[in-house]
Amino acid sequence: MKIQHIFFDLDNTLWDHRRNAYLTIKDLFEKEEIGLKYSIGFDDFHAVYHEINEKLWEDIRDGLIDKEYLRQHRFYDTFKHFGVDDEELSMYFEEHFLDKILNHNELVEGAQYILDYLKAKKYSLHIISNGFKEVTERKCILSKIDTYFQTITSADTVGVRKPRPEIFEYSLNLAGAEKENSILIGDDWIADVTGAQRFGMDVIFFDVLNENREEEELKMIKHLLQIKEYL
């Protein structure tokens, strides 16, 4: 059956979360003069934060922790790594991070072009995100891509995250789509590729981190414009 519905992951597939988070944390770091107060270099701080945050998001995806645990620990554990045991400072960073990150709304290179291209070809476009519901729609609005999408599904709405089949089922039902006429595009191997494949839905792996996965018949791109090779 011909593809009619395209489901995009949001963070790091269209909305450049890594870049926007980096800029936001740098703003907070400099405003609070963390380098001067604690003799910590920003790039070292960010590298530790990134590793901790990625692991916590994997634990959320796997159902090992909830989002409140992540919020309590990602900055706290980062500061503690550098010998700074300060819950108040950590929560200041957390609260302002979630608010201020929406001041930065850079898209992944090629995102605007490929959305225009797919919309012109009359595909129905949708978002299916593991992100927090309270920020997912605002990211789309503030980056001015919300008008491209007929539906936006956040994991918090469903109560489970990719790769669980329930979130794919919910999103397809919301869109009035069938597995056979749908495809997912995402950058997370477990959440997006494994999740879609187990659900029985076609998928394009956006290999933004150059993981160079090898799997028979896998659709894979390294730049969003390469979507044109498949759609």
What does 137-171 look like in DSSP terms, one character per residue? Answer: HHHHHHTT-GGGEEEEEEHHHHT--TTSHHHHHHH
DSSP 8-state symbol, 172: H
- Predicted pLDDT of residue 202: 97
Q: Rounded to 5 degrees, what are φ and ψ at 126?
A: -145, 160
182-to-61, 135, 198 alpha-carbon distances in Å? 23, 25, 14
Q: Answer yes or no: is pLDDT of 162 > 90.
A: yes
- Predicted pLDDT of residue 169: 98
How would DSSP label each residue in 80-104? HHTT---HHHHHHHHHHHHHHGGG-
- Write out pLDDT tens, residues 24-52: 999 999 999 999 999 999 999 999 999 99
Position 22 confidence tier, pLDDT thresholds 50, 70, 90:
very high
Q: Answer yes or no: is pLDDT of 211 > 90.
A: no
How many Å apart are CA 173 and CA 229, to the nearest integer? 27
Q: Answer yes or no: is pLDDT of 208 > 80.
A: yes
- Predicted pLDDT of residue 173: 98
Average pLDDT of span 120-141: 93
Average pLDDT of span 159-182: 96
- Per DSSP, what are the bridge partners of residue 152? 127
205-to-23, 38, 160 alpha-carbon distances in Å? 26, 41, 21
Q: Answer yes or no: is pLDDT of 125 > 90.
A: yes
Tokens for 28, please give them: 């907070």
Q: Return the biggest CA–CA distance within the chain.
A: 61
Position 189 confidence tier, pLDDT thresholds 50, 70, 90:
very high
Handedness of CA 123, 114, 201, 64 (dihedral sign): negative
How much is the mean pLDDT over the chain? 95
Sheet of 182-186: strands edge to edge? 149-154, 124-129, 5-8, 182-186, 202-206, 219-221
Average pLDDT of span 192-204: 97
Handedness of CA 196, 105, 60, 44 (dihedral sign): positive
DSSP-based three-state secondary structure for 212 = coil
Average pLDDT of span 216-229: 94
Global pTM?
0.91
CB atoms within 10 A of CB 80: 16
- Write out pLDDT tens, residues 60-115: 888 899 989 999 999 999 999 999 999 999 999 999 998 899 999 999 999 999 99
How many Å apart are CA 217 and CA 109, to the nearest integer? 26
Percent of the chain with pLDDT over 70: 100
